[in-house]
Structure 1
Amino acid sequence: MNKAVSVYFISALTAGGLTINAANASAELATSSSVDTTAIAQKESINDSVSSSLQSRLSNMKQFRANFTQTVVDAQQNVVHEAQGTLTMTRPNKLRWETTFPDETLLVADGDAVWNVDTFVEQVTVLSQDNAIKDNPIVLLTSTDEATWSKFSISQMNNGVPTNTSASEINNDTVMQSYQITPKEEGGQIVTLTLSFNQDNELASLNMLDAQQQVSTLVFNNIETRFPIPADTFSVDIPDSFIVDDQR
């Protein structure tokens, strides 16, 4: 019970004709405050431990390339979108998302800007990378910045079941280890991001719940974590006929 609830509870009892003297009320508040402080400290310690566990897994994933299948369902579990493509990432802060089905699209984050190429309408939209994903937990896939990590709460899950235990107490023999990431500041487009790793510590799937209650699931295959990176992987060659909408 937090302090605000404790005060309300005491007031309600007094108004109902029961008497609680000032000493008892003070003791109740002191006890409540102590319990709250301890609980908060324990929660922060667990979050820090789990965050360190996830950072360790991702730090070993300095490179990542895989094919993916994407399925998006709405709040009623109706499939609203499906796609296939390739995701390539390097740490820090570079990502290339390329779809081959149902349409050819390209999104590149080069560390400074995000380039969204729509070949169908022959247009490229350019955004500041910091502004584009500052509150999006997807940023943690490639970020090594502690200030960025501190903006999110992270809990560990075993086979999709959340746990309240620290990372050191979790059974590492579990086939799939998952981490649920939640922005501490509400109001962003992504409500939660769940990253799942297979027994080889490879990122096997990614699940996002957005503000419209749509769930996007990416399942990865043909995973590579060591490969040569062509110089043009995180750059965009824009045809002269394309319109460029630079919003940086």
Structure 2
Amino acid sequence: MNKAVSVYFINTFFVGALSAASVAITSANASVELNAANIAIADSASEDSVSADATGSKNDDISSSLQALLSGMKQFRAGFNQTVVDAQQNLVHEAQGTLTMTRPSKLRWETTFPDETLLVADGESVWNVDTFVEQVTVLSQANAIKDNPIVLLTSTDEATWSKFSISQMSSGITTDNSATDINNDNALQSFQITPKEEGGQIVTLTLTFNQDNELASLNMLDAQQQISTLVFNNIETRFPVPADTFSVDIPDSFIVDDQR
């Protein structure tokens, strides 16, 4: 994995209307001499409150749906094909390899094409092994992916989830009727995750699940308008996890750049 691709996983890879409604309703109850304009304002504020409540409830439901899907993914291992295109849709990178994850907070990314590379997140640190230059870069995992929606793949922490907005999509297009998509047994379920705080490397992450509720693909749009797409194959969600899966054996000849 070259550094341009690694960045996806190590530097980048959750009242006003209600207050207005409350004031309007209190004023209406306290006064018997409201004119038509004041009544209209109160009614409008009340409608805004209902709308805000409905939107918030829907967003919570969508977040809960995604969390439920990911909670069934306590283990995940799959081969992947990756493509990265730029803003003009020019192909800038291709890769193949294997992704292994366990919840909470552990990830192993290996590429076999075009080069053999390794990245491991062990729950505390991220180890990026560059065999070509014989160097290992070590970062604090909490700092490396704190603003990256990829963290939700393995995180069970509610405070982390609250940093992101989540919407449900269908066939890559946001829909207004999420229930229809969920109830369609033949439909893929897609969720778009957006950091609430702007300025991070990843603008959006889209997760798509197949009919068996398995993670089938993910799509990342970055701040440079590059799009990275991973399509998974040979998906496994139950398998033995060797003790060394999320550890790194560093040869003595390698330089270690510890940035924790």
TM-score class normalised by the smaller sequence: 0.7 to 0.9
**1:111 corresponds to which letter in structure 2?**
G
Contact 1:46 1:167 in 2 (8 A): no
Change beyond 3 A, Cα 1:24–1:169: farther
Q: 2:25 maps to what in 1?
A: none
Aligned-residue offset at 1:164? 2.8
Q: CA deviation at 1:191?
A: 0.6
Residue 180 of structure 1 aligns with which residue?
192
Match of 2:254 in 1: 242
Fraction of identical pairs, as percent: 79
Q: Is the 8 Å Cα contact of residues 181 and 187 (structure 2) preserved in structure 1? A: no
Question: RMSD between aligned alpha carbons?
Answer: 2.0
Give 2:224's aligned residue: 212
1:82 is displaced (CA, Å) by 0.4
Partner-residue secondary structure (3-state), 1:174: coil
Q: Distance in 2 between matches of 1:116 and 1:167?
A: 41
Q: Does residue 103 of structure 1 match 2:115?
A: yes
Map 1:47-126 onto structure 2 (within 5 A).
47-126=59-138
Distance in 2, matches of 1:224 and 1:35, equals 47
Deviates more, 1:143-152 or 1:38-47: 38-47
TM-score, L = length of structure 2: 0.82
Give how far 1:109 is off: 0.3
The question of whether the paired residues in 2 share the 8 Å contact of 1:69 and 1:83 is answered with yes
1:158 is the counterpart of 2:170: yes
Equivalent residue for 2:213?
201
- For residue 155 of structure 1, give the secondary structure of its aligned residue in structure 2: strand
| Aligned residue pairs, count | 229
Change (3 A) 1:133 1:29: farther
Instruction: Measure the CA separation in 1 of the matches of 2:162 and 2:113.
Output: 36
Other structure's SS at 2:185 match: coil
Q: Work out the CA distance in 1 between the residues paired with 2:61 and 2:181.
A: 10
Rate the CA distance shift 1:29–1:103 in 2: closer, same or farther, 3 A.
farther
Cα distance, 1:59–1:210 mapped onto 2, change above 3 Å: same
The amino acid across from 2:187 in the alignment is V
Provide the C-alpha distance between the structure 2 equivalents of 1:245 and 1:25, rounded to a whole number of angstroms.
Answer: 67
How many Å separate the matches in 1 of 2:160 and 2:89?
32
Work out the CA distance in 2 between the residues paired with 1:215 and 1:24: 53
CA 1:68–1:24 in structure 2 vs 1: closer, same or farther (change >3 Å)? same
SS at match of 1:103: coil
Worse-superposed segment, 164-173 or 61-70: 164-173
3-state DSSP class of the match of 1:234? coil
- The 8 Å contact of residues 46 and 166 in structure 1, kept in 2 or not, is answered as no
Partner of 1:125, secondary structure, is strand
Distance change in 2, residues 1:170/1:222 (3 Å): closer
Q: CA deviation at 1:29?
A: 5.3
Structure 1 residue runs without a partner (length 5+): 4-22
Closer/same/farther in 2, CA of residues 172 and 59 from structure 1, 3 Å limit: farther
- Scaled by the length of structure 1, what TM-score is found? 0.86
Question: What amino acid does structure 1 have at the position aligned with 2:210?
Answer: N
Aligned to 2:241: 229
Give 1:169 shift. Answer: 7.4
